[in-house]
Structure 1
C-alpha cells in the first residue's frame, strides 16, 4: 500500500535576512510567472501540458520572468493542476445542481416547492470559482530546481537546497523540524515540496511517499458519525460483534471556550489579541481529530472498515426550522475526521472505504425492516423496531448497516474472507 502525506516544516528562526529576501524575490517571481501563464488562456483554450507549453514558448515567458526553464515548467504544472481541480469540482457541482433542479420540478405542492427551491438556490450559490492567481501562489518544487537534504549540522538536521533567480546560484536554507517530522521522514521518499508564506513566516510543505506492507484482514467493520457520539464503530467479528463509541466532549468544551473568548474580544475590538488567537481554535480541532483517528485505527486493527460518507451538514439550510441543530453541526469536523482515519489506518497497512450511508439509519439491522421509529433521550437516541421488537442505539444500528452493506457488496463481487487480503 502506498501512503502519501504532507509535512509542514517551518524555516529555522536563525535563517539570515539575506536568505529571507532571496525567498521573497523567488516566491514573488513564481507568482508573477503563474499570472502570466493564466493571461494566455482563453475560453476556447484546451488545458493540457502540450498546449500550455506551446503558449509559454511562443510568449517567451522564460525571458520575461528571468526564471529558469525548470521553474517555468513547475509553474505550468501548478497552473494545470489548479484548472483540473476546478473542472473536477465543477462536474460534481453540475450533478448536484441537475439533481436539485429535478427535485424542484417534481414538487407536489407549494410548500414542498418552496423548500426544494431554497435548497436549489443554495446549491447554485456554491458554484466553484475559477482559479485565481492574484495572491502569492506557490508551486511544487522537485529535483529540477531544489531538494530537501539531511545533514549532520549542529544547527539543524534538515536543509532546503533550492535554486535562485541568478543562474547557477543556489542557497541552503535551514529548516526547523520537530521530532515528529524526523520520524515521518524515516524510510520515506521525498517527492517534492512547496515554499509557503503564512503570517509573515515561511514554511516548507514536504510531500513524502511511503510503501506500507499490507496487513491481513480478519473482519469487516462499519463506522457511523453522529451528533452525540463522534464515532460509533462496529466490527463483525466471530463469535460476537464488537462495539466501540468515542466521544469528543473535551474538544467541544475547548471550542466553546475559544468561541466565547473570540466573541468577547470582537466586542471589545481588541484586534491585536484576536490576531494572536487566529489559529488557536483550528489547532485544537485538528489535534483532537488526530487523537480520535489514532484511537479508531487501534480499535479497528485487522479489519476492513467502511465509513459512512455523510453530507448531512450541507443539507441543513437556513430557514428549515431547526436553528439549534444548525448551531450544533457548526462545530462538526467529520470530513476532516474521516480523512485522518483513512490516513492513520493506511499507515498501519489497512484499507478504508468511504461509502454512501443513505438509508442506514432508516432500517433495523437485525431484521432489515423499515417499520421503525426513532426515540430521543438525553445525550442519545435509539431505534424501536415494530417488526422484531428490537431496541437498538441509533448510531450503532447505522454502523451495523454500513458494515453489513460492505460485506454484502464484497460477497456479490465473488469475494470471501480468505480472498479479501489477496484482492486488495
Structure 2
C-alpha cells in the first residue's frame, strides 16, 4: 500500500493528561479534607466548613474527571496550531511540524471523524490515550481520504460521541442547580445518618434497609447524571447509558434533522428520538437566541457523520430470494458452516450457486449490505473466510468494525476467527428483531 501524504496549514495534538491531572488533584485534595474531618476531635465551624468543602470537591472532581475521560474532544487553541504534514503508511502515522516530529502507531488510533462546524474542515484522529490529532484539510473529500487511509472512515469503523446525561437533557439550568444541591446535601445527610446508625444499637434489618435505600438512590443518581454515548455505524445507531443499551437501525429512520438541542431521528413508527448533544436551556435563553443560530460543534459533527453513514447504508438486493442458499434453515452451526465452505470452495453444491448466478462478489456485497438479514451477513462472513486468505479475513473484520449493532459485530468477529457458535447467531437475530419493532 502506497503512503498517503497531506500537507496542512494547521496541525495540532490536543493532550488529554492535563485535564485528567486537574481532576485527580481535586479528588486527592478533597479526600484529604474529608479524612481530616473524620479524625477531628470536635466539630467546630472550621472543621465543618472543611468537610463540606471536601464533599463539594469530591463531587466536582468526579464530574470533572467524567468529562475529561468521556467528554467531547476539545479543539486546540490557535497558539497550538502549526503548519505541517501527515503521512500514513501501513503501520505508522507520522506528523511533521515546524517544531516537532511525531510517530503514532496506527493500532493506537481508536476513532476519527470530520468536524465542519467552524466554516473549515478538520480531520480529527483520536488515540487510545485520548489525545487527539487535529488537522485542517482542504475539503470534505480530502478528509474522507485521510480517514479511509487510517481505517477510520464511515464504512470502516463506528464513530462514538458523547451525549449529555438524562438530567442535562430534561432539566433546565435552574433545576440542575437545585438537583445538584439536593444531591450534595442529601449525600451528606445520608452519610451522617448511616454513621450514627452503625455506632448505635440499631437492628440489622434497619441498617440493611438504610443501605438498600442508599443503593437505590445512588443507582437513580447515576442513571440521571452520567453522560451517555451514541455509536454511529453503517447499520444504525447504538445508544448507551448506565446499564442500558438501545439499537436504532436506519431502516426505522425516516429522516435526520438537527436543532439547538442536538440531532433528531424521525422514526417511521413512534415519536422522534433526540440525541442530545447540548444541555437544555431555559426559555429565556432560548428566546434570546437568534432563529438562525449556528448549531453546536458536537451537533454538527454527529449530524454530518449520520448523513454519511446513512448514505453508505443504501439497501441493495441482499434480501432477494436468490441468496436463500446462505440461510441457516434450522441446521446446526457445524452443518451450516460445512455447507457454506463447500459452496465457496467449489465442492458440493457449487452448481446450485452457479444456477442462482451468485458469485463471490455477490457474497461480498451481502457482507457489506447493512439491509441484509443478520443471518445472511454472518453466512457471507463464513463463506468468504473459508479460503483462509488474511486479506479476506481483514475485510470481514472491517465490516464488523463498522457495525453499531453490538451483537452482530460480535458474531461477525467470531465468524472471521472461525469460532462462531449458535448462541452468537441467535443473539444477533434477537437484537435485530427487537430493534425492528
Q: Which has the higher contact order (CA 8 A, sep 6+)?
A: 1
Give yes or no for TM over 0.5: no
- TM class, shorter-chain normalised? under 0.3
More helix by share: 2
Q: TM-score, normalised by structure 2?
A: 0.26
